[in-house]
Structure 1
């Protein structure tokens, strides 16, 4: 996020407001001569936890299901996720990871033990979806694997043997066990998490204690030469920087430090706000809360720059997204929630922030992929619906592995409601792998369109072409009865006398190629 946008946030924090003049035009200048860091495709990663109907029914139905499937995986869900080019999937949690016994999820399914999912609803977990099924999922999607190990209730031996089971190529007993279970060649594990949320559900630890445990467990995590995954140290949450401070100064052999932040409209975990039926006060508060992500990343990057000036450690936001009150009539522990246009804007704002910090932020995971929290997809039996968040991911896939380009927002306008103020426009630009220049614009104002004049330094822009996501209602969403109620529409604008001005409708996400 640019300095001008941070200035608006600072004013909002002080309770100040500035006038919004809809007649004015914001101006964006993109400097294509100064390429920045790569926007790593793993910024668009997904998260699938054993939680509610996120995996069972949402992804896995079994080979004998009447729902059309590919070797037990829902055909419709797999095809939809392929379309948005999911680059990475994190599994099995989350809080669930620190009670997961990986051996429960291998071998014949009819012989796998049943456990109780104590974190999420107290329901039976039959372990039908285990290690082999997870890797088949990522292979079906053409994605990379992020596996989260059990530090909370597991042992160093248990964690080490799981990594050996997945990546080993010897004739050891553990590797031969994998082969007996039907997989000859080792799998590729791109990231391996050493525990999860050690400050909370992963053990309620101090960062100093976790740092010692991390070094202890990581010592025994071994894999064949050239196949070692990037180890992920479990970091902090929200505004906290103490975890990054302690870990970056004390841990060894890590690829990066994780961080978690969930957008709550109210900022209150006891009454988070509703997924639908909200007013403009909850619209703007949700967007304001989301924009705090920039502050949290900047503060943690400052710590990393001090302790890790060579940038050996990346910063992974491996849980993010909206979290609302449970849907009425549903199991509260399943975290099922509706997904609206507001969620689409939340996703786009986060992407623009991640792009702006692509020098350190190289991997993130939205929570979660199907049927849980800010999901891409909702299912009900044989029915499936794509959410507005799914469409945002689809529009932004052109930014995967693109090169970030600096931009300046001149004459930035604001949008305010009550005593809260946010920027009217959020923007990000990049040069795609195909050489084309892409611009994303988010209009946070739910009532007024924004005029944005676009210039590219050293280039003449003749037209913009892409996709627009908007709707009449702030809580517009797709249902099983109306699955196409909100979806992207084509967008095109041509330059007039050498100047390109884009009209960005109220409450919208726009991604265009500049030709």
Structure 2
């Protein structure tokens, strides 16, 4: 028997700024929100790998080899489920054999995509898989289709997953790993419509079938092959791939979309200095993810009505202009409360489409774009976006609660968007988690909730907010934005009553 939860968001007579007349209905389902929606992305770009995960041996921080352990501990805290590597655009100029064996003998290359810096290949396949092991996450490797060969990717899979006596497997054993790594997730190219080769979808679909045919399953490791999917609203790319690639050959189809504050790739807008109108425009662009996921999913449904192929949004996040004074090719940007609202809103969208979205990756984990973590030599800070992933980890592998939401509007400049967005789940212990985002910069939302057929005796919560939407954590004030206990929720009879502050994210837990 299905259970129904009804939440009424009512006006608060005690709060002059409160919204009114919103409602939310939640319905229990058998669908699971995959933990892999909460994945991360680490490309050889700027200070993401080098001076991020992989540091100088003399840096005075705890390390295993050269892997920075305070970063590892922070990411284990939020239970990241997967890490995508080595790119990004870098993946299609990366040749894996350059990154194995004695480091002093590894060839150097120029990273032509990101800043023209010299790549010494000291962080390669074994280092990445050691990092994944320390993180307790699944490695997700993007293979080189753009400048690589079918043989090259085939041998990479064999090197990592086979336990035969072949020459390439013996090479792995000589390089210090006797047993197969058993890497399941493989991307077949990256952005093949652009930096990955400027291909047509028809040409790429044929290339995918070639590469995928020779990327073999080895005992105990069936591959989950992910096709290079569309750029944002290129629905024709999805149509061609779904039509031309048998669904039995691909586990997933990727999709990339970045929230640009201005909507303009030339001048994207500042990460830290913006008006309410600019904030509003950014959130309009963020909410476009709902349209993109819905329309791509509808195309996929035509060819895959049983939803066997995952939509993998393995690059998403806000992309602003780089911080002044930094290398523009390093894509280093600060991370404000606005970024947190973007992260929470996007994760709500993914949770609500978890029948098709089975995997995603925020771009990127450390020091690049909408990062979870920023570093400065031995210093490290957690960004507002990190705290959202900490708050939302309760939804990983929990049962999705279907949502019907009626939200008040948030109006700026004669245009409006829904002020509230939400996702909810029920974990294995029966606890219900409701994550609410209030995008309105000035008005709170009061919730008066009736929960039918759900027995609960207590509510607690967490909140992330700050005085200003432009507030950030800095190395001088690393904890200005952090999760705090949410105390404006209580049980009144059979009702849940809570007031959600302006420009905030709240997750409630009903026990």
Q: TM-score, normalised by structure 1?
A: 0.94
- Correspondent of 1:289 among 260, 263, 285: 285
Unmatched tracts of structure 1, length 5 or more: 1-19
Instruction: Give 1:118-133 correspondences, 5 Å limit.
Output: 118-133=112-127
Q: Supply the RMSD in Å over aligned alpha carbons.
A: 1.4
Secondary structure of 1:93's counterpart equals coil
Cα distance in structure 2, aligned partners of 1:294 and 1:269: 21
CA distance in 2, matches of 1:287, 1:462: 36
Mapped to 2, the partners of 1:116 and 1:489 lie a distance apart of: 44
Which residue of structure 2 aligns with residue 471 of structure 1? 466
Partner of residue 480, structure 2: 485
Cα pair 1:28 1:452 within 8 Å, conserved: no
Q: Per-residue deviation at 1:251? A: 1.3
Mapping of 1:95-494 within 5 angstroms?
A: 95-252=89-246, 253-410=249-406, 412-492=407-487, 493-494=489-490
Q: Is the 8 A contact 2:182 2:220 kept in 1?
A: no
User: Contact 1:466/1:510 (CA < 8 Å) preserved in 2?
Assistant: yes
Counterpart in 1 of 2:8? none
Structure 2: gaps (5+ residues): 1-15
1:341 is displaced (CA, Å) by 0.5
Counterpart in 2 of 1:69? Answer: 63
Structure 2: how far apart are the matches of 1:69 and 1:409?
47
1:87 and 2:72 equivalent? no
Tell me which moved more, 70-79 or 257-266.
Answer: 70-79
Give the match's secondary structure for 1:37: strand
Whole-angstrom CA distance in 2 between matches of 1:115 and 1:317: 29
Distance in 1 between residues matched to 2:147 and 2:139, nearest whole Å = 22
* Residue range with higher mean Cα deviation, 309-318 or 65-74: 65-74
CA shift, 1:454, in A, is 2.4
Measure how far apart 1:286 and its partner are.
1.1
Cα shift readout 1:60-105 (whole Å, capped 9, x = no counterpart) = 1154543321221112111111111111000000000000010110
Alpha-carbon distance between aligned partners in 2 of 1:259 and 1:27, rounded to the nearest angstrom: 32
CA offsets per residue over residues 258-281 of structure 1, 9 Å max, x none?
A: 000000011000011110011101
Contact kept? 1:62, 1:73, Cα under 8 Å: no
Distance in 2 (alpha carbons) for counterparts of 1:451 and 1:461: 20
- Aligned residues of 2:19 and 2:444 also touching (Cα < 8 A): no
* 1:89 and 1:138 in contact (8 A); partners too: yes
Residues 73 and 23 (structure 1 numbering): CA distance in 2 closer, same or farther, change over 3 Å?
closer
How big is each residue's C-alpha offset from its partner over 1:306-326, in whole Å with a ceiling of 9 and x where there is no partner? 111132211100100000011
Instruction: Specify the alignment match of 2:54 in structure 1.
Output: 60
Distance in 1 between residues matched to 2:201 and 2:285, nearest whole Å: 25
In 2 relative to 1, CA 407–115 (structure 1 residues): closer, same or farther, beyond 3 Å? same
- 1:23 offset after TM fit, Å? 4.8
Residues 158, 216 of structure 2: 8 Å contact kept: yes
